[in-house]
Amino acid sequence: MRNSRTLRLIAGVMCAGTALAACGTSSTSSSSAGGGAFTPPKLEALSQLGQPEGALNILAWPGYAENGSNDPNVDWVTPFEQATGCKVNVKTFGTSDEAVSLMKTGQYDVISASGDASLRLIAGGDVEPVNTSLVPNYADIYDFLKNKPWNSVNNVSYGVPHGWGANVLTYRTDKVSPAPNSWSTMFDPNSPYKGKVIAYDSPIYIADAALYLMKTKPELGIKNPYALDDKQFQAAVDLLKQQRPLVSEYWSDYLKESQALKNGDAVIGTAWQVTVNLTQSEGAPVQSTLPTEGATGWSDTWMVSAKSPHKTCAYKWLDHIVSPQANAKVAEYFGEAPANPKACSMTADAKHCETYHAGDAAYASQIWYWTTPITQCIDGRTDVKCKDYGEWTRAWTEIKG
């Protein structure tokens, strides 16, 4: 009987708590740092390299740190281990949000961060400035990738640019005709591919809808899909809610997406080039295209954890991953533009850099790179407040329903 009384007591406390909540409360919104007013925690970059510590924990996008376990021919981790003696341990993540929370555990030394994660990592004190003079290969990297808003703060570099690419429109050539060249095939409520659309499962996907609205509804005045005021944000959310019945699945695991495309459970969707390459290699007729509206994309940066006990190995990795050989292999395996122009002569496909517009700064500027949305509108408007990432996240739960 005592047990049941305890049970009732716990239940009572819980109910009291929930009842109080139901009474309502004034919402106090915390002001968060960001934009011009954003001051990162004071952290010093490494001044000189020491002896390699013998171990390195890497947090990476799938396909960025391959050690031959997925495909014996795809391996640039083992040569690194042999050259430096740093035993590598790789953990992959599916979304930037997952990466940010994994970095908070302090268990990783380096991370390949996209633009929607990097500022959060810098602001949270999870990553430290990088002394680029200790990374010899840094000198070769395209200038238009260096000291960008997502990899530096006040001209202090927080990492090494690694590669960039677009979130491409992907489709089954045998099921989708004519070949699409607009995102409307994924957003039009009368799309013939109803129930066969596959979309990316992350709040940042709202930017894809905003990008589409930028071109189709100019009256909304969207200048940057990551800077959305109330009205613009609502329009993007509404568009995604309207898209919801068309969607068969939201993907965060690129292997699951590849499988859905291969089996024909999804015939059109947004994907990375690596997914397309993988699905093609398994014999499925899949193609990708960069639609006329442009696309969201990523420009990734290798960053060093502030809490890393393996700093020398971390710097060695930064230098290794943007070396011409490794950069060429990653770019080709993942399907992206390498950051190091010297990599272009080392790719197996001689036209790789041309296909991905590697050195083309003008092309690169057409892609809207993932950036963390913050209250200060990053398109320069000061008269309105933009929706921050917390609100993007809540809206995302609501869109999925």
Partner 1 sequence: MSIAASVSGFLYRKPRLRLGMLLSAPLLWLGLAYLGALAALFVTAFWHTDTFTGQVVTEWSLDNFATLFRDEVYRTITVRTLGIAVAVTVIDAVIAFPMAFYMAKFASPRAQRVLVIAVMTPLWASYLVKAYSWRVMLSGNGLVGWLFGATPGYGLAATVITLSYLWLPYMILPIYAGLDRLPNSLVEASGDLGGRPWRTFRSVVLPLTFPAIVAGSIFTFSLTLGDYITVKIVGGANQMLGNVVYDNIGAANNLPFAATVATVPVVIMLVYLAAVRRTGALDNL
Closest distance of CB 116 from partner 1, Å: 11
389 counts as binding partner 1 under rule CB under 8 A: yes
361 counts as binding partner 1 under rule CB under 8 A: no
- Give the whole-angstrom CA distance, residue 304 versus residue 76: 19
285 counts as binding partner 1 under rule CB under 8 A: no
- Give the whole-angstrom CA distance, residue 243 versus residue 250: 12
Q: Of the listed pieces 28-36, 66-74, 136-144, 270-278, which binds partner 1 according to CB under 8 A?
A: 28-36
Which residue's CB is nearer to partner 1, number 104 or number 307? 104
Q: Of the listed pieces 42-50, 268-276, 322-330, 392-400, which binds partner 1 according to CB under 8 A?
A: 392-400
129 counts as binding partner 1 under rule CB under 8 A: no
Closest distance of CB 123 from partner 1, Å: 5
Closest distance of CB 248 from partner 1, Å: 6
Closest distance of CB 278 from partner 1, Å: 17
Which residue's CB is nearer to partner 1, number 288 or number 376? 376
Which residue's CB is nearer to partner 1, number 101 or number 292? 101
393 counts as binding partner 1 under rule CB under 8 A: yes
Residue choice 76, 150, 233, 250 for contact with partner 1 (CB under 8 A): 250
91 counts as binding partner 1 under rule CB under 8 A: no
Q: Of the listed pieces 282-290, 291-299, 330-338, 393-401, which binds partner 1 according to CB under 8 A?
A: 393-401
Of 172, 327, 349, 198, the C-alpha closest to 271 is: 198
Q: Of the listed pieces 6-14, 181-189, 294-302, 345-353, which binds partner 1 according to CB under 8 A?
A: 6-14
Residue 113 phi, psi (nearest 5) = -100, 135
Q: Of the listed pieces 60-68, 122-130, 270-278, 295-303, which binds partner 1 according to CB under 8 A?
A: 122-130
Residue choice 84, 112, 248, 301 for contact with partner 1 (CB under 8 A): 248
249 counts as binding partner 1 under rule CB under 8 A: yes
Residue choice 95, 112, 258, 347 for contact with partner 1 (CB under 8 A): 95
Closest distance of CB 195 from partner 1, Å: 8
Residue choice 113, 123, 227, 386 for contact with partner 1 (CB under 8 A): 123
328 counts as binding partner 1 under rule CB under 8 A: no
Strands 268-271 and 168-172: antiparallel
3-state secondary structure the chain: CHHHHHHHHHHHHHHHHHHHHHCCCCCCCCCCCCHHHCCCCCCCCCCCCCCCCCEEEEEECCCCCCECCCCCCCECHHHHHHHHCCEEEEEECCCHHHHHHHHCCCCCCEEEECHHHHHHHHHCCCEECCCHHHCHHHHHCCHHHCCCCCCEECCEECCEEEEEEECEEEEECCCCCCCCCCCHHHHCCCCCCCCCEEEECCHHHHHHHHHHHHHHCHHHCCCCCCCCCHHHHHHHHHHHHHHHHHEEEEECCHHHHHHHHHHCCCCEEEECHHHHHHHHHCCCCEEEECCCCCCEEEEEEEEEECCCCCHHHHHHHHHHHCCHHHHHHHHHHHCCEECCHHHHHHCCCCCHHHHCCCCCHHHHCCCEECCCCCCCCCCCCCCCCCCCHHHHHHHHHHHHC
- Residues lying near partner 1 in the complex (CB under 8 A) are found at 4, 7-8, 10-11, 14-15, 17-18, 20-25, 27-28, 30, 32-34, 95, 97-98, 100-101, 104, 119-120, 123-125, 195, 202-203, 244, 247-250, 256, 259, 263-265, 372, 374, 388-391, 393-394, 396-398, 400-401
